[in-house]
Each structure stands twice: as structure tokens, then as C-alpha cells.
Chain A
């Protein structure tokens, strides 16, 4: 019964009786097929590698302390990302504060309390799945329309950017929180209820604490997506010359991807180097966030 315990990958090799039944595992077509599969992976990873290497080569000359300490300038050798980094921190921070509680609350309702037989709850589920796949630039248009409705003249404010990115991240957080809640076995809830806890106490003291690693992983991945996103902020007019540190919800801002886009669209090669250097910094931050998410998932997630 070995093939029941091995993974999906190795099942057929162990199931075939080598030497007697030759299914043609080494026939030309089989080997070609496997080579084609390897090729697919190699091409995908090869492009990833090429992207990282070319960006590193282009940007290495400007990967220095000026990149993080200087303000944007018309002279490329004096330009830096300082306000963009601070702007990214502000916008992502506000996004996290707004979205994580809302997303977790919606997920708790859908997973723990909603009656799935009712059409309305099923509509919400379908809707969340669709929202997760709406193009990011549409969220920018939504935020733009909303700010116009409120009569806001200057749309390039931290809270506006956080609104657009929050809308973008919300479905991601709802979906990952639901998956985390679903992984908690029913027996934990039943045990809690049997001891006299109310449904809400059960959620607050048992289900939610048990799913914190999953929620944290999903939230970090969602926020890292928002950190790299430029399109909705572009619509909100974030592509401006910012030579000051953002200092509040109504402050003007620019973010790292926006500043990189700005440098990319200039004709001078020096600005392209600067854009590559900024890309490396952004990739490093995102890699750190993804690493943290994977670490939390592997280290803290309970196996029931």
C-alpha cells in the first residue's frame, strides 16, 4: 500500500511493477512530454532570474544611501526615494488599519454566522470572489468618483490613496481569513459551545485565536500586493512632484511604485538607472514581507 502514503507526484511510479508491465515510461513521447514540462518551468523561472539580474545590473550604480535619504530632483544624481518610502508607509499603514478589521469581520460573518442557504449570503460570497478579480485601476476610478462626490478638490491625499488600495485588498483579506477560519475543526467550536460559551465568545476566544497565523499570512500578502500597486494611485493623481515628507491623513504623497513609474517615463538613461535601483529596493521589501508571511505560515500554523 505504499502508493497510498506517497504524495500525488510519485504514485504511478510506485504503482507500476517495474520490469514486467512496461507502460512505456521511457518511450520517446513520454520523455519529450517531460522535457516540455521542464522547459515550461525553466522559461518561467529563467525570465524571473533575467528580470532580477538585469534590474540589479542597471540599478547597482545607484543603490546607495542617497536613494533613501534624498528627495526627488530634476538632476538624477541628486534624486532619491525618501518621500516615496514614507508615503508608501503612510498609505499602506492606513490601508491596513482600515481593511484588516473590516475584512476579518466580514469573513467571520460569512464563515461562522451566515446561513449559506439564503440567496443573499450566497450573493455576498460570489460578489467577494468577483471583487478579488476586478482590475485594480477600476478601484482607482471608484475612489476618484467617491472623492469627487465628497467635493474633495485635491485628490492626492493619503486617505484617498488608502481608500483605493483598501478596496483592492479587502477581498483578498476576506478570502484568506475565511480559509483560515475554515481550517479550525468543528470540534473546537462544539467543545466551546458545550462548555456554555456563547457563539460570539466561541469565535473570540477559540476560533479567531486559532486562525491568527492564517489571517496574518493573508493580510501580509494582501498588503504586499497593495505596496507594489501603482495603477489606482495613478488615477488619483499621485504622480506629482513631492519634495516633503507626508505627515498626516490629508497630506500629499507619492509612493515607491509611482516614483519608479515617474522615473521610467523620463527619457534620460540616468533616471532609468534610478528606476532600476528603486525597483531593487521595492523587490527587497516585498521579498521580506513574503518571507515573513511564509515563515508565519510554516512556523505558527496549527495542524489539527
Chain B
């Protein structure tokens, strides 16, 4: 570091600095490590590309046999039958039912919890409530599935309410999945509401608004982009959730017309079909990936919408 010694250097020679702040000799080890770090970061891109290739290649094989129009708009899903049919609509209706029911539960509960934590709860109460929400988020989905099948469907629906339903229903799976998504929606929208500056609340209070009015008319609109991001991410999680629907929604792929029917979702199909050891390269194997590709594209769309909205509220405050 001898080049750094002339202290008054730059002052004596105006125009160009005599001191170079760069290191004098190249540090190969340093360059190598930084390259490795960069490679680790690039790996994440490789994973995404890998997902696309892994899903696309068998899917292309699949669409050579099954026309893409028949796949997307056919209303009969029977890939293992002799007269096989590959209309994905039954799987999509089941996914729409379970996700829709889940969101009907998760949006009000999640937003209510977020408003309470961000606007009403005192710091002490928050310290207790947030870890409990985190525990709810950490429960394995298999356990949620077991709960939906045994308690919600078998005990509550069939024994207590004596509803006309079989061993499985999209309603039981959807309700429990909704509770599972509550922490996701609550934590992101709470972040968004907490990011709204205090001065806006004080301004609202100074104008005579009470806490409810401040929350509903000032904080909520100001945090709207974050709240939308939370909901959209919730949709993405509901569509991609596997174990709850595989256990509690049933295994027959038919177009679902009511909440008490059973139905097989896209994820439920992949989970079930994977159980029957299908040979690499067979049509059955390719079907898995075609449904997987559809699932990936749907969630990708929702994820990007969500990320966009999160960025917006991060930029404003």
C-alpha cells in the first residue's frame, strides 16, 4: 500500500489525482471467490431455465399426441382409460373451486388480522400474536389435509351438519386451505399498512376522523398496492397447494358444479399420477409435465403481478 503514503498529493497536482485508490497488484484469489459468488447467484437463473426446459420438453411430446385445443377446452379428463381423453377443464374447475373457497376465507380473515395487528394492537399484544400467526404458517400441509379430511369433512360436515356429501369435498379442502393462506395475506398486507407513514394517520386524526375512519379511508387506500400483492400471492399459493387437496378434495376428475362434490385439482392429479410409477417417455409421464407446465404458467402470472404491486408500495414509502 506504499502508493497511499503521499498525503498531500492531490493538492499539489491539481487536475489528476496522484493517489490511485485501486489495489496495486491483482488479487487472483479475490477475483476467483467473487466469480464463485456470482456463479451461485446465476444458478438461480439456471434453476428457472431448468424448470422451463424440464416442463417444456415432455409437454411438447405430449402436445404432439394431444392437440393443445383438446387439452385446454376438453371437458373429460381420463388419461388412464382405454379411450383416453385429455380435456383439462375438470382439473381447472376443481382448482377454481378450492382456490375460490380458500380465498373467500383467507381474504377477510387475513386482512382483518393485518388491520388489527397494524392499527389496533398494542406492541405487547403484537409480540404475542405475530409468532402465533407464524406457527399457523409453519404447520405442514399434510397435517392440514388430515384435519380437513377427518375433522372438517367427516365430523363437522357429515356427523354434525349431516350434509349430503361423500368422503371428500372441495368445500372442506378449500376452507382449510383458506386458513392455511391467512398468514401469507396477513403478513404482507400488515407490512404494507405499517409502511404507511404515521403523519398520514395523524393528519386524518387531526381532521377529526376516528380510528376506524382513518383505517378504512386513509391507511387502507394508501396500502392498497401491498394488499393487492398479498391477495394475488394468496391466489398463487392456493392454486399451487398440493397435499390438502390431494388428501381431502378427492381423486375423481369430473367437472365440479357444487362445493359439496369431490374433484381432482391440477396439483391433485400430479400428486396422484406420480404414485402410479409411470415410465419415462410414456404418454402418462408426459401428461404430468403438461399439467405441471399449465400450473407453473398460471402461478408465474400471479407471482409477477404480485411482485409488481409490492414494488409499487416499496417505491412510494
Contact = CB atoms under 8 A, between A and B. Distances in A.
Interface of A: 3-4, 7-13, 15-16, 21, 23-25, 27, 29-30, 33-34, 36-41, 43-45, 47-48, 50-51, 54-55, 58, 102-103, 105-106, 108-110, 113-114, 121, 123-124, 126-131, 133-142, 144-146, 148, 167, 170-171, 174, 196, 198-200, 221, 224-225, 227-231, 234-237, 239, 257, 260-261, 264-265, 272, 275-276, 279, 282-283, 286-287, 290, 294
B209 interface: yes
21 contacts: A9-B125, A12-B201, A25-B210, A33-B212, A39-B112, A55-B143, A105-B36, A105-B37, A106-B41, A134-B51, A134-B303, A137-B242, A137-B271, A141-B289, A170-B47, A199-B30, A234-B242, A234-B274, A276-B150, A290-B138, A294-B131
Interface of B: 1, 23, 27, 30, 33-34, 36-38, 40-45, 47-48, 50-51, 53-55, 57-58, 108-113, 115-116, 118-123, 125-126, 129, 131-136, 138-147, 149-151, 155, 176, 179, 182, 194, 198, 201-202, 205-206, 208-216, 233, 236-237, 239-243, 246-247, 267, 270-271, 274-275, 277, 280, 288-289, 292, 295-296, 299-300, 302-304, 306-307
A44 to B, nearest CB: 5
Contacts of A51: 139, 143-144, 147, 151
Contacts of A237: 274-275, 277
Contact of A290 (B115, B134, B299, B303): B134
Given A8-B119, A51-B143, A124-B42, A135 B239 contact: yes
A133 B116 contact: no
Per DSSP, chain B at the interface is helix
B40 A137 contact: no
A5 B291 CA distance: 53
Contacts of A130: 48, 300, 303-304, 307
Contact of A8 (B142, B194, B246): B194
Contact of A30 (B1, B134, B142, B210): B210
A303 B185 CA distance: 28
Contacts of B275: 234, 237, 239
A265 B267 contact: no
A228 B141 contact: yes
Contacts of A33: 212, 215-216
B242 A41 contact: no
A113 B270 CA distance: 40
Contact of B122 (A7, A58, A260): A7
Nearest to A174: B44
Question: Chain B CB within 10 Å — which of A15, A23, A199, A294 has the most?
Answer: A23
Nearest to B149: A264
Contacts of A290: 134-135, 138
B240 A138 contact: yes
B176 to A, nearest CB: 8
A261 B277 CA distance: 17
B304 to A, nearest CB: 7
A190 B77 CA distance: 62
A11 B129 CA distance: 19
B218 to A, nearest CB: 11
A284 B271 CA distance: 26
A144 B210 CA distance: 56
A113 B30 CA distance: 12
B116 A15 contact: no
B189 to A, nearest CB: 12
Nearest to B32: A200
B307 A24 contact: no
A146 to B, nearest CB: 7
A128 to B, nearest CB: 5
Given A23-B209, A130-B48, A135 B132 contact: no
A282 B139 CA distance: 9
A13 B194 CA distance: 17
A89 to B, nearest CB: 16
